[in-house]
């Protein structure tokens, strides 16, 4: 991904917006932030985006109303709803209106990052069918990974973990964040520490046996980091 990805952020909570913008910029996204529907509509008319992050409860209305405008302008813009409302009917409504993904607050940045990247990959398939990083080549569609052009046999969980690490390279990922990523819903809480440890251990072992550089580093025992020089 050489070109920078343009992201439109529509969020009225300023502190959250500031952090999100900083995070997106650090991860090589171009980010435009708007805090109301009115301002966002103007922006959508004038510019084109790869992805849009929409908050639902905005001061002048519901972020859902923006989905149609965005998709009308450019079908390939990925829309991710970021909402505090974890209600099934809200999700269904958003997806029916054309949203591509739904993220519930509070979320973790690495998760947001992984989702934007996966979404952009999905919507621009012809360019980005594979991810190449030094000796690693990943095919997300087929869940296949090559090290030095040789297939490494990974389980689906190990593969998604590796993809998550690559999406969030050079960042400290705490056990909490990885645990949340591995478990699907909130009542998995407090259940995943051991699983995270096991999966990462297995992933590291498999990569090492294929002579892959040891990218995944332990950070002070609080988490892990996928380190690429």
Question: Where on the chain is the footprint of other proteins (CB under 8 A)?
Answer: 13, 15-16, 19-20, 22-23, 26, 57, 84-88, 104-110, 171-172, 174-177, 180, 186-191, 193-195, 198, 219-223
Kindly tell me which of 187 and 214 has the beta carbon lying closer to other proteins.
187
- Measured distance CA(148)–CA(167) in Å, rounded: 20
Identify the helix (H) or strand (E) that includes residue 89.
Answer: helix 88-97
Asked if the bond preceding 106 is cis, omega within 30° of 0, the reply is yes
Q: How do 101-104 and 78-83 pair as beta strands?
A: parallel
Minimal distance in Å, beta carbon 128 to other proteins?
26
Minimal distance in Å, beta carbon 102 to other proteins?
14
- Measured distance CA(97)–CA(81) in Å, rounded: 11
Kindly tell me which of 21 and 123 has the beta carbon lying closer to other proteins.
21
Kindly tell me which of 77 and 83 has the beta carbon lying closer to other proteins.
83
Minimal distance in Å, beta carbon 84 to other proteins?
4
- Measured distance CA(97)–CA(67) in Å, rounded: 7
Kindly tell me which of 146 and 172 has the beta carbon lying closer to other proteins.
172
Distance of CA 87 to the CA centre of its chain: 21
Minimal distance in Å, beta carbon 96 to other proteins?
17
């Amino acid at each position: 991904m050489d070109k920078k990805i343009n992201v439109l952020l529509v969020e009225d909570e300023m502190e959250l917006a500031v952090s999100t913008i900083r995070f997106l910029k650090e991860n090589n996204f171009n980010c435009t932030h708007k805090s109301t529907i009115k301002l966002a509509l103007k922006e959508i008319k004038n510019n084109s985006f790869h992805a849009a992050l929409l908050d639902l409860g905005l001061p002048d209305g519901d972020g859902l109303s923006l989905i149609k405008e965005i998709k009308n302008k450019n079908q390939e813009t990925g829309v991710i709803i970021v909402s505090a409302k974890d209600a099934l009917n809200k999700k269904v409504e958003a997806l029916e209106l054309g949203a591509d993904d739904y993220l519930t607050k509070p979320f973790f940045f690495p998760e947001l990052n992984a989702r934007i990247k996966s979404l952009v990959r999905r919507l621009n398939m012809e360019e980005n069918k594979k991810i190449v990083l030094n000796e690693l080549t990943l095919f997300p569609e087929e869940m296949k990974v090559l090290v030095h052009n040789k297939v490494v046999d990974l389980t689906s969980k190990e593969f998604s973990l590796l993809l998550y690490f690559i999406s969030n390279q050079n960042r400290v990922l705490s056990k909490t964040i990885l645990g949340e990523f591995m478990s699907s819903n909130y009542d998995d809480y407090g259940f995943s520490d051991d699983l995270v440890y096991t999966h990462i251990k297995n992933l590291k072992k498999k990569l090492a046996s294929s002579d892959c550089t040891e990218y995944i580093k332990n950070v002070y025992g609080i988490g892990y980091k996928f380190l690429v020089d």
